[in-house]
Amino acid sequence: MVIVTIIIFILLLLLRVPIAYVLGITTISYIIISGSTNMLITVPQRLFSGLESYSLLAIPLFMMAGEVMNKGGITRRLVQFAQSIVGHFKGGLAYVNVIANMLLASIIGSATAQIAMMSRTIVPEMAKEGYDRNFSVATTASAGLLGPIIPPSMMFIIYGVASGTSIGTMFLAGIMPGILLSFAFAGVIAYIGYKQKWQGRPRRKVSDMLRSFIVVVPALLVPVVIVVGILSGAFTPTESAAVACAIAFIVGFFIYREISLKDLPSIMIGTAISTSIITILIGMANLFGWMLSAERIPQALANWMTSLTESTLMFLLLINILLLLIGMVMDGIAALIILVPIFMPVIANFGIDPVHFGVIMCFNLTLGLLTPPVGNGLYIASSLGEVKMEHLVRSILPFLFIAIITLFILTYLPQLVLWIPSLLE
């Protein structure tokens, strides 16, 4: 029975059926094959219970904040601000790419959304400046990884809900890893620039840099208010999402004056579409998790992994290898929802901090965006950046390699992850 269910699951994945439907169809197939048709009665209830969480409200609200920022010209000004700071360095636009993604990550929290947005904006600019288009697209796709790491992060929200970990603490724990990954990518760019002997551009005048900073200050209010509000305890992560929406609208409507009331319907529709995709995935994954619990798979896996090793260091190595392989064939959010309930009893046995483990897990599964055969980030960047997939994969390898090194540094130096949250205990 279990073997047949696994075969159905793998076949649906190979047929490229959307992952939400894979999870739902596999669960229904299991119920029918097992003969427990009375379980079908509770399927709607299980779907609903997976979504019945106040914390999940943060997802559509942060998505709306991102939509408002795009319409209100905030995103463009963040890119211009980054260019005024580092645009004069050798490979300046590549650094701008990373810094702009870092700033956007503190607002959008979605890697695919960032990759799509930046592929349409900064890649053409880099091409005009003479950068190799494959390198430009690879830099954009790689920098998009910052979205699920720097707060607010959609993956951190889902992990917090699934594991019972504080979402606010997860947000704080993501700050240092995001900064570390940004510096790592900057190092890759510097090395490539040195080998290819890039030329720098004239340095901007201090007055121009100051003017650019003044213009972008209202845009920077959004991430600043989110982080400061959570740190001070003024509001919860979910409430901070609502505040971010309000500030983004005020800035776009009253200060930059690039958004109007007639734009609200399209913003709402875009938010609803994006939210529905995540919502159905969470619901179906909860249903799938119910099936796993019925078969006591979490307990079996916990016992098996405990029997493999008693070393925490070796366990973390095995987990990272497993997650890297899973990320290659499964959507990161779906994998997160399925695996968190399985791994929580296991990490308790090894005495691993759930916040530290959450950052490792989210970081690791995010890398799946850049690894074939699923690699949604690769497909988006390749399509919008107008480059061939095989050329993009070759160009992205240095970034992927340094990201994996960063992952293992964070894995074995938990103080890098837990330092900022520990300051507020």
Which pLDDT score is estimated for 199? Answer: 66
In angstroms, the CA 254 to CA 418 distance is 39
Do 97 and 105 touch, CB atoms closer than 8 A?
no
Task: Write out the two tokens for 139.
Answer: 């830099």
3 state SS for 368-394: HHHCCCCCHHHHHHHHHHCCCHHHHHH
Q: Is the pLDDT of residue 209 over 90?
A: no
Worst-scoring range by mean pLDDT, 92-96, 268-272, 326-330, 372-376? Answer: 372-376
Average pLDDT estimate for 15-27: 81
Percent pLDDT > 90 in the chain is 15
CA distance 387 to 197: 23
Quick count: other Cβ atoms within 10 Å of Cβ 307? 8
Polymer length of the chain: 425
User: Structure pTM?
Assistant: 0.78
Band (401; pLDDT cuts 50, 70, 90): very high
pLDDT at 317: 92
Which residue has tokens 């279990």?
A: 2
Alpha-carbon gap, residue 382 to 138, rounded angstroms:
9
19 with 32: CB under 8 angstroms? no
Span 133-175, pLDDT tens digits: 899 899 988 988 888 888 878 889 889 988 889 888 898 899 8
Taking all residues of the chain, what is their mean pLDDT, rounded to a whole number?
81
Does the structure show a pLDDT above 70 at 347? yes
- For residue 298, pLDDT beyond 70: no
For tokens 């529905």, the residue is 276
Left if phi > 0, otherwise alpha if psi is -120 to 50, otherwise beta: which for 74? Answer: alpha
The pLDDT value given to residue 1? 64
Spatial separation of the C-alpha atoms in residues 98 and 124, rounded to whole Å = 15
Q: CA–CA separation, 406 vs 363, rounded Å?
A: 10
Query: ∠371-373-379 over CA atoms, to 5°?
Result: 75
Greater confidence (343 vs 234) lies with: 343
The pLDDT value recorded for residue 176 is 93
| Residue 413: predicted pLDDT | 94
Dig out the tokens for 23 from the structure.
Answer: 């999870």
Amino acid at 85: I
Q: Mean pLDDT, to the nearest integer, of 269-293?
A: 77
Which tens digits make up the pLDDT trace of 102-140? 877 766 666 777 787 777 778 887 887 788 889 989 998
What was the pLDDT predicted at 358? 95
Domain boundaries along the sequence of the chain: 1-49+280-294, 50-259+295-423
Question: Exposure of 231 by Cβ count < 10 A (0-12 exposed, 13-18 middle, 19+ buried)?
Answer: middle
Residue-wise pLDDT for 213-228, tens only, equals: 888 888 777 777 777 7
